[in-house]
């Protein structure tokens, strides 16, 4: 006797489409937001930003009857080119827009905004792995309290670094600090609301506010974060993410794009020594750790 199977009864079995799309995972974008905004220093035209150095002078002993020799310093400058231009674009035909149950064109706006924000964070994050003279931590390992104390000391030794400082770590690096009593214990944090453990909150220690990002440079299990002071990292944005639309009547399609023009930079601080003409990465410390 013939059986009624899933195959023979297929014509009687209905199918359903989800009312919502399975949207791609999105990381939090925080790195670029932490950079000092120097956009107002380079308004309107131009793509090259000059930052001249201004070093300290030398205090000499004055000998009676002998004229002092005027001090001459030939200063240098740092140049930063604002040239990163990134774009997201898509063509959506009316046929697809009309026939689809999903709002394709509205979805582009959200996806384009995230794509550009993520790209900007990756660009900024690439700068965090760029200090070999002031580095703490070991790749593939969690940071220690000694690493954080030495990082704070680097900034204090350099002079001119004004707290509060900022530090950014990977989620794994953040989790490592949660294991250190000093970063969560109410005796150190003054937290009576349970934020430390209930919300996985790392307290502000050593004049430093901690942030975390999944977009730090490095391939797991390697990650490079940073601890820095003031305007050591900065950004200049010539065009914030801007949406452009154009309807093509012959193609009966919308052409959509969103773009941004910007630069993310790491400055080097002028050395403190009298009559010095050198600069160095004094107000930043690379934090190598685990991803």
What are the residue boundaries of the structural domains of the chain, listed by start? Answer: 28-52+78-268+281-290
- Distant-in-sequence, close-in-space partners of 41: CB < 8 Å, separation ≥ 6: 49, 236
Question: Hey, what long-range contacts does 12-18 have (CB within 8 A, 24 or more apart)?
Answer: 17/101
For domain 28-52+78-268+281-290, the CATH superfamily is: phage-related protein like domain (3.90.1690.10)
CB distance 182 to 210 below 8 Å = no
| 52 phi/psi in degrees, rounded to 5 | -70, 150
The predicted model scores a pTM of 0.88
Exposure on the CB side of residue 15, measured as CA atoms within 13 A: 4
Q: Are strands 165-169 and 208-212 parallel, antiparallel or unpaired?
A: parallel
pLDDT (tens digit, 0 to 9) for every residue of the chain, 291 residues total? Answer: 567 666 766 776 777 776 666 667 788 999 999 999 999 999 888 999 999 999 999 999 999 999 999 999 999 999 999 999 999 999 888 877 777 766 777 788 889 999 999 999 999 999 999 999 999 999 999 999 999 999 999 999 998 999 999 999 999 999 999 999 888 775 566 566 666 665 677 878 899 999 999 999 999 999 999 999 999 999 999 999 999 999 999 989 989 999 999 999 999 999 999 999 999 999 999 999 999
- Signed CA dihedral, 267, 271, 275, 276: sign only: negative
CB distance 137 to 287 below 8 Å = yes
Give alpha helix (H) positions in 68-103.
Answer: 94-99
């Amino acid at each position: 006797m013939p059986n009624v199977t899933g195959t023979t009864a297929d014509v009687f079995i209905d199918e359903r489409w989800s009312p919502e799309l399975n949207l791609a995972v999105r990381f939090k974008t925080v790195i670029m937001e932490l950079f000092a905004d120097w956009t107002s220093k380079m308004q309107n035209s131009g793509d090259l930003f000059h930052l001249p150095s201004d070093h300290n002078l030398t205090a000499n002993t004055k000998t009676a009857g002998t004229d002092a020799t005027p001090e001459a310093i030939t200063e240098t400058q740092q140049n930063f080119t604002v040239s990163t231009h990134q774009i997201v674009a898509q063509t959506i035909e009316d046929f697809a827009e009309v026939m689809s149950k999903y709002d394709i064109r509205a979805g582009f706006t959200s996806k384009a905004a995230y794509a550009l924000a993520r790209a900007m964070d990756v660009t900024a994050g690439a700068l965090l792995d760029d200090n070999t003279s002031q580095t703490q931590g070991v790749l593939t390992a969690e940071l220690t309290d000694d690493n954080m104390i030495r990082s704070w000391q680097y900034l204090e030794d350099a002079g001119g670094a004004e707290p509060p400082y900022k530090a950014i770590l990977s989620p794994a690096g953040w989790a490592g600090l949660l294991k250190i009593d000093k970063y969560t214990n109410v005796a150190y944090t003054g937290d009576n609301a349970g934020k430390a453990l209930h919300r996985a909150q790392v307290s502000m220690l050593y004049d430093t506010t901690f942030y975390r990002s999944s977009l730090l440079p490095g391939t797991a299990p390697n990650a490079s974060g940073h601890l820095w002071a003031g305007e050591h990292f900065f950004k200049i944005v010539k065009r914030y993410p801007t949406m452009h639309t154009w309807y093509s009547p012959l193609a009966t399609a919308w052409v959509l794009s969103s773009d941004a023009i910007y630069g993310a930079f790491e400055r080097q601080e002028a050395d403190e020594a009298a009559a010095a003409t050198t600069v160095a990465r004094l107000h930043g410390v690379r934090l190598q750790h685990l991803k």
